[in-house]
C-alpha cells in the first residue's frame, strides 16, 4: 500500500526547492558581478627594487671586502651583487617596477649587527630612581614594559643592531613587541625572545613577588622551578607563551647580588635542556662558576652567557662540543646595574680573562652585551672591549654577524649579504677593520629591505 503524501510534506519539499533555487541564483549573480568588477580584496603589491651603491662592501665577514659594488635588493632580500655602480636607467626588471637608488659610495657597508644578550624591557633610568625615592617599589606592569621594549628596540636598531636576542623578560611584554615587528606593523630589529629566564626559588632571575612565591601560576609565569619535573613544566610554559629559546640561570649573578656558585642540581639542568631540545628550542645558560658550567656543557647546552670564571678544562669541553660563549664583557664594567665606582666584577673579569683564553683556544664566540644593565643603543662598546683584549677587528665583526646568526639558527637567512639572504645591512663613515670604534656612529640602516635610518636619522617606526 502506497503511503499518501501530506500537504505539509509537499510544502516542505517545495520550500526546500525554492531555497536551493534561490541559493543557485544568488551564487550565479555574485559570480557574474565579481567577474564584471575589480575585486576590493587583496591586491598584489608590485616588487620593490633598491640599488645600493656601496663604496666598500663587506658582504661576508671573514672574507675580503670589495670596492664600488651595487647591492641589488628586491623587496626584502638581496637579489645580486654587481661590480660598479648600476644606474636606475640601466637597470631593468621583468615587471618594470620602480627602482630606488641609495648612494653609499663614500661609506663602508656591512651586514646588520646582532646582539645575543639584551633585556629590552628595562635599563637603568632616572625614573626608576625617582620611583624608589617616592616610595613606589612595585615593579612596572607588562604593559609599561612593552612600551619600554618598543623604545629600546628602536634604539638598538638605530645603533645598527638588526637582530637581538632578549634573554630574560616576562611572558608578555617582549613577545608583544616581537610579534608587532614580525607582522610588519613596526620597523624594528628581529627579536628572538626567551620569555622569563628559568631559575630556582630565590635564585638569580627569580622575579616572583614574595607574596606570590607559593602560587603555582605565578611561579610558572616567572619561570621558577624546583626539581626536574617542575623545571620541565617551566620550560613548556615558556614555549607555550611564545618563547624562541630557553635561558636558565645555573649559578648566581652580579645583578641580583647572589653568589656566583651553583644554584641548580644536575637533574634540573638536564631536564631544562632536554625539554627545550625536544620542543625544538636552543638553550643558553647564564653562569659564572666553572664546575657548574661544565655540568651544563655535559647536559648539552648550546651557549653560555658571561662565563667569567671558566677554566681551561671547561673551555676545552666547550670547543669539543661546539658550545658558544657570549662573553658580555660590557656587563662587568661600570655603570652596570650597580652604579659604584669600582665594582668587583671588573677585577673578577680581569683576573680570570676567560674571554681572552676562550678566543686563544678557538672557542666559538658570539657577540653579546647585556644591554639593559646599561643604556640600550650603546651596545657597540662591546666591540671596543673585544678588540682591546686581543680580538682582531674582523673577528669581532664576524662574532656579531656570522657567528650570532649560526647561534640563533638563522644563518640561512641572515648574517651575510649574499644573494637570497634578508637585506639587513648598515653603513658607517669609515673602515671598522682599521678602527672598530667607527661602529659607534651608524649612518644608514636597512632592515628587511626597508630603510630604517638614513643620513643618521631614523625613519617613521610604524606602518599604518
Domains of the chain: 44-112+416-459 (2.30.40.10), 113-415 (3.20.20.140)
Percentage of the chain modeled with pLDDT above 90: 70
**In terms of Cα–Cα distance, which of 170, 172, 217, 178 is closest to 198?**
170
Cβ–Cβ under 8 Å, residues 155 and 421: no
Lowest mean pLDDT among 178-192, 209-223, 277-291: 209-223
Kindly state the cell numbers that stand for 269: 639542568
pLDDT interval class at 226 (50, 70, 90): very high
More confident residue, 333 or 449: 449
Which residues pair with residue 262 across a beta bridge? 251
pLDDT in tens, 327-351: 999 988 865 555 666 777 888 889 9
| Confidence at residue 210, expressed as pLDDT on a 0 to 100 scale | 75
Distance CA 344, CA 439 (A): 28
Cβ–Cβ under 8 Å, residues 228 and 271: yes
| Confidence at residue 139, expressed as pLDDT on a 0 to 100 scale | 74
**In terms of Cα–Cα distance, which of 352, 370, 365, 281 is closest to 322?**
365
Give ∠ CA 451-184-100 in degrees, rounded to 5. 30
Instruction: Decide if pLDDT at 452 tops 50.
Output: yes
| Confidence at residue 37, expressed as pLDDT on a 0 to 100 scale | 43
User: According to DSSP H, which parts of 251-380 are helical?
Assistant: 266-278, 290-298, 312-321, 344-352, 354-361
Q: Which residue in this structure is represented by grid cell 623578560?
A: 169
**In terms of Cα–Cα distance, which of 368, 406, 402, 408 is closest to 60?**
402
Strand 66-74 versus strand 77-83 pairing type: antiparallel
pLDDT in tens, 71-104: 999 999 999 999 999 999 888 776 778 899 999 9
**In terms of Cα–Cα distance, which of 204, 351, 210 is closest to 263?**
204
Cβ–Cβ under 8 Å, residues 272 and 283: yes
pTM exceeding 0.95: no
pLDDT interval class at 38 (50, 70, 90): very low
pLDDT in tens, 342-378: 777 888 889 999 999 999 999 999 999 999 989 999 9
Instruction: Decide if pLDDT at 227 tops 60.
Output: yes
Measured over the CA atoms of residue 340, residue 164, residue 360 and residue 418, the dihedral's sign is negative
Instruction: Decide if pLDDT at 24 tops 50.
Output: no
Instruction: Decide if pLDDT at 39 tops 50.
Output: no
Lowest mean pLDDT among 35-44, 323-332, 347-356, 402-411: 35-44
| Confidence at residue 15, expressed as pLDDT on a 0 to 100 scale | 45
Amino acid at each position: 500500500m502506497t503511503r499518501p503524501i501530506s500537504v505539509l510534506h509537499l510544502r516542505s519539499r517545495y520550500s526546500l526547492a525554492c531555497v536551493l533555487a534561490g541559493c543557485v541564483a544568488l551564487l550565479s549573480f555574485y559570480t557574474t558581478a565579481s567577474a564584471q568588477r575589480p575585486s576590493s580584496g587583496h591586491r598584489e603589491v608590485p616588487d620593490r627594487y633598491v640599488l645600493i651603491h656601496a663604496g666598500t662592501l663587506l658582504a661576508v665577514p671573514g672574507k675580503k671586502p670589495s670596492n664600488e659594488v651595487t647591492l641589488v635588493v628586491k623587496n626584502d632580500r638581496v637579489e645580486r651583487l654587481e661590480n660598479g655602480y648600476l644606474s636606475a636607467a640601466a637597470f631593468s626588471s621583468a615587471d618594470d617596477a620602480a627602482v630606488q637608488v641609495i648612494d653609499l659610495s663614500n661609506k663602508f657597508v656591512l651586514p646588520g649587527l646582532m646582539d645575543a644578550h639584551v633585556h629590552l624591557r628595562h635599563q637603568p633610568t632616572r625614573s626608576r630612581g625617582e620611583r624608589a625615592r617616592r616610595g613606589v617599589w612595585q615593579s612596572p606592569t607588562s604593559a609599561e614594559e612593552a612600551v619600554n621594549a618598543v623604545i629600546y628596540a628602536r634604539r638598538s636598531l638605530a645603533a645598527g643592531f638588526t637582530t637581538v636576542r632578549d634573554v630574560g623578560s616576562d611572558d608578555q611584554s617582549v613577545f608583544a613587541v616581537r610579534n608587532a615587528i614580525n607582522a610588519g606593523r613596526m620597523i624594528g630589529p628581529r627579536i628572538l625572545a626567551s620569555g622569563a629566564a628559568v631559575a630556582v626559588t630565590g635564585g638569580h632571575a627569580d622575579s616572583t613577588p614574595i607574596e606570590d612565591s607559593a602560587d603555582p601560576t605565578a611561579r610558572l609565569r616567572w619561570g621558577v622551578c624546583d626539581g626536574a619535573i617542575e623545571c620541565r613544566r617551566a620550560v613548556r610554559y615558556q614555549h607555550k607563551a611564545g618563547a624562541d629559546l630557553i635561558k636558565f640561570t645555573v649559578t648566581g649573578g652580579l645583578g641580583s647580588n647572589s653568589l656566583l656558585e651553583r644554584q641548580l642540581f644536575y637533574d634540573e639542568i638536564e631536564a631544562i635542556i632536554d625539554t627545550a631540545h625536544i620542543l625544538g628550542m636552543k638553550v643558553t645558560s647564564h653562569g659564572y662558576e666553572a664546575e657548574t658550567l661544565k655540568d651544563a656543557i655535559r647536559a648539552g647546552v648550546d651557549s653560555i652567557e658571561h662565563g667569567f670564571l671558566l677554566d681551561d678544562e671547561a673551555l676545552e669541553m666547550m670547543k669539543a662540543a661546539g658550545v658558544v660563549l657570549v662573553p658580555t664583557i660590557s656587563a662587568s664594567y661600570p655603570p652596570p646595574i650597580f652604579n659604584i665606582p669600582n665594582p668587583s666584577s671588573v677585577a673578577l673579569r680581569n683576573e680570570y680573562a676567560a674571554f681572552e683564553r676562550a678566543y686563544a683556544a678557538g672557542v666559538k664566540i658570539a657577540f653579546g652585551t647585556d644591554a639593559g644593565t646599561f643604556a640600550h643603543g650603546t651596545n657597540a662598546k662591546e666591540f671596543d672591549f673585544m678588540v682591546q683584549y686581543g680580538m682582531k677587528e674582523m673577528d669581532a665583526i664576524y662574532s656579531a654577524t656570522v657567528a650570532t646568526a649560526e647561534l640563533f639558527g638563522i644563518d640561512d637567512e641572515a648574517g651575510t649579504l649574499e644573494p637570497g639572504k634578508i637585506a639587513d645591512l648598515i653603513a658607517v663613515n669609515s673602515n671598522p677593520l682599521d678602527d672598530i670604534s667607527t661602529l659607534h656612529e651608524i649612518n644608514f640602516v636597512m632592515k628587511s629591505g626597508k630603510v630604517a635610518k638614513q643620513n643618521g636619522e631614523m625613519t617613521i617606526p610604524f606602518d599604518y
